[in-house]
Amino acid sequence: MARRPVLVLAMVPAFTGDMFTPHHWERLDVLCEIADREPLTAFGETRAAALLERAELLLTSWGCPPIDAAVVARAPALRAIVHAAGTVKQHITDACWERGLLVSSAAAANALPVAEYTLAAILFSNKRVFRLQRRYRERRARRWWPTYEPGLGNYRKVLGIVGASRVGRRVLELLRPFDFEVLLADPTVTPADASALGARLVELDALLAAADVVSLHAPALPETHHLLDRRRLALLRSGATLINTARGWLVDGAALEAELQSGRIDAVIDTTDPEVLPADSPLYELPNVLLTPHIAGAMGAETQRLATLAIDEIARYVHGEPFRQAVTRADLARVA
């Protein structure tokens, strides 16, 4: 290879053990000169100054500090940032775009485990797994369980997908083998687009009123803040399940808490606002809530898929090819 650009890593060091296998390091060594395998966690330290001075490529992931004007100024050779995770909004600043840096993200790879989690949540929700597990534990005897949970099962249930994002589209793909009626609410798609995705396009209010399970996959944008407010949450059918693997930003937390405390609906919640709820939040204890600690996205061995995609992008850069998973400044107005 004619040229090996200098690569600097910036992320939480603990992630590299799961994310980068020996094969990943071998590929990176062939493609780049790795300035230091120990990632940067702050850009103001002495070691960071020496590494940034040489860096042509930054390989980032969760925990990368913001790459602001001061950082860009200390990195005269920097040309591209490849993010081995999802959103770049936390660390890519205006200074990066003004410098003309190329940016890529592994959001497409991170979408896959989120969609898988969502599919499992949908199937378990319609089987009333969470409620019946508790009933069985209490009674420890045979019962005719549909008596306790009318409408039990997945056959011909109505599913509502809110947002045809990367995750939303992958969920729609995974739902194809099942006997569901699938509704989609997204102002950016047409009825023909929705049909091609295996869904019927409807307005959000109609989706909420009709669906047995509603799954949120919209981006966190100013216009989606509390997209599901008190009025819209009240539209959910009694016995419906709300799944949120997107952002807590999308839901009015106080209104959701009130609905869940009433017992009228169920919820599978992987993302909250704030990110960790207060210790006294009733959502930790409510029997109709499955609350998980933001684990739907890539975790453990799943992060190796992110590393593979990121290194594929680095290979394209080294060979003078455009990024396949490029992110532009304009993209940030419509993606998570």
Residue from 114, 112, 85 nearest 292 by CA? 114
Q: What span, in angstroms and rounded, lies between the C-alpha atoms of 221 and 250?
A: 9
Active site residue 294: yes
Pick from 186, 222, 228: which is nearest to 203 by CA?
Answer: 186
254: β partners? none
Other C-beta atoms lying within 10 Å of the C-beta of residue 221: 16
Phi and psi, residue 297, nearest 5°: -70, 180
Active-site residue flag, 275: yes
In DSSP notation, 107-135 reads HHHHHHHHHHHHHHHHHHHHTTHHHHHHH
Marked catalytic residue, from 4, 116, 294, 302: 294
Active-site residue, selected from the candidate residues 128, 232, 247, 305: 247
Q: What is the DSSP string of 152-220?
A: -SSTT-EEEEE--SHHHHHHHHHHTTS--EEEEE-TTS-HHHHHHTT-EE--HHHHHHH-SEEEE----
- Tell me, rounded to whole angstroms, the distance of Cα 242 from its chain centroid: 16
Between CA 109 and CA 7 the distance in angstroms is 22
DSSP-based three-state secondary structure for 234: helix
Q: Which tokens hold the place of 292?
A: 């998980």
Is 226 considered catalytic here?
Answer: no
**Choice among 26, 98, 173, 275 that is catalytic:** 275
Active-site residue list: 247, 275, 294
